[in-house]
Amino acid sequence: MLLAAVFIFFLLSVGFHAVAGRLSFIANSVLRFLAVGTVMGLLLIVWLVGRYGLWSAELVTGVLTYAFLCNLYIFLFTATLSSVSTNLLFRLSREALAPDDVERLYSGRAMAEVRIKRLVDAGFLAAATTGLTLTATGAKSVATYGHLRRLFKHVNDL
């Protein structure tokens, strides 16, 4: 019963995420899911407390399972956009490609162009008359990822 309820709340979050994407009131798909996922998560907590009580293992497990499913979902759907391999598989599901087509569609140049456009659309880069500049959000992201790179000891290959 507990896991079934958690799974239903999760599926409702995913469903509302799909609906919210078509209504387009939040441009960023991750923020969109966080918005609907948080609301559904709070409703789940209310339901769990009502059924199992505040100090119960069921409440803790329910919340953790829901959080895990949401995190996994975010990880998976963001990977479908950012990963070259998943993009390639998705494109191949629509049409067979010759090696030359792959070379052209997934050239370093084409991939850079797509990502620059996404960064402008998402508000990380601003298009000025002189060129592209970082927005405050973009600058914050660079700083955050700089900290992460140092934290994880990644070699400086950017």
Partner 1 sequence: MGALYLAAVAYLAIHVAAYFVHLRHLPSFRHEGTIFRYHAISSCIFSAAALLPGLVRADARLLIAGLGLVMLHGLYSITFLELWSISQIGYSIAILAEVERLGVATAEELVRDLARIGEAKKAGRLQSLSALGLIRLESGRYHLTARGRIIAGAIGLLRWLANYSDTG
Residues 55 to 114 in contact with partner 1, rule: CB under 8 A: 57-58, 60-62, 64-65, 67-68, 71-72, 75-77, 80-82, 84-93, 96-99, 102, 105-114
Residue 105 Cβ vs partner 1, minimum distance, rounded to whole Å: 8
Collapse the DSSP code of 61 into the 3-class scheme (helix H, G, I; strand E, B; otherwise coil) and give the result.
helix
| 72 alpha-carbon distance from chain centroid | 10
Q: Which of 50/130 has CB closer to partner 1? A: 130
Q: In the window 6-65, what residues touch partner 1 (CB under 8 A)?
A: 14, 17-18, 21-22, 29, 33, 57-58, 60-62, 64-65
Contacting residues for 132 by C-beta, under 8 A, at least 6 apart: 116, 120, 125, 126
Tell me the DSSP string of 140-154: HHHHHHHHHHHHTT-
Count of residues in contact with partner 1, rule CB under 8 A? 76
- Examine residue 136 and tell whether it contacts partner 1 (CB under 8 A): no
| 110 alpha-carbon distance from chain centroid | 22
